[in-house]
Chains A and B, each alone.
Chain A
Amino acid sequence: MYSKMLYVKTRVTFRLPQDLADDLRELPNQTRFVEAALREALGVACPLCQGSGRCQPRRLTISNFRRRALPALERGSALELRRLVRIGRELSATSLELERSAPGGVAFVLTRGSEVLLTGQLERSGVAERGEA
């Protein structure tokens, strides 16, 4: 039985040095590997699904106040943290790192995998963004 994928994809033949060809033949899924490498090189892969067309549910990990010895939030900063968490979930962010910053503030870095989405500081009056990737 043939895979349906064979009919929606185009066969491409290309030449490789012997050592690369040998390495490629040892991979369990050569097509997927070459496809991922091409998409990454061409920069067209969706950062959310990595070109698969299907997003997996991700859980946003947020720093623990007790372990990081973070200062207590005031009402205003807590509301800003809530907005930040919701933005993070909408952007499929994977991590919201919080760190103590002087004086009495909390710095944040919102990331999705290795990609930094937003950095800034939760201040008593609210959030001050420093940059956006």
Chain B
Amino acid sequence: MIFVITRLCRDCVDGACVEACPIDCIVEHAPQGRPSELPNQLFIDPDQCIGCRMCEPVCPWQAIFEDTDVPFAFQEDIELNAIAGARPAEFVVPKARLTRQISAEEVLANQLKWTQPGRPTK
């Protein structure tokens, strides 16, 4: 495991990282024949990530961290990303879907949403 996409990506799911990743290791959960039980976010397949750092700076939500630098509040997301490596058949590389420009205020509000007391846990 090298880089991890945290819950800051949830329901935002910008595709800039998908565009930037040279080895197509950023994936979404799309199991066949059933809806996904995982949160609506992107994941990094830890078995494939080579740590080139191309994804980290392009994420407008600042949701991508090196595994050694994942904030305490997002530690559970490391295991969530590991699922992509354990069950690769259920994951696909999504089509890039670049969204609108994200403002600094929106990034901060998203960070507060996941880190302050009373935050969503799932």
- Residues in A lying within 8 Å of B, measured CB to CB: 62-66, 70, 72-73, 78-79, 81-82, 85
Contacts and interface: CB of A to CB of B under 8 A. Distances in A.
B52 interface: yes
Nearest to B68: A66
A70 B53 CA distance: 11
A82 B23 contact: yes
Contacts of A78: 20, 22, 52, 54
B23 A85 contact: yes
Interface string B26-60: 00000000000000000000001011111000000
Contacts of B23: 62, 81-82, 85
Interface string B9-26: 000000000001111100
Contacts of A63: 50
A82 B2 contact: no
B22 A65 contact: no
Contacts of A79: 22
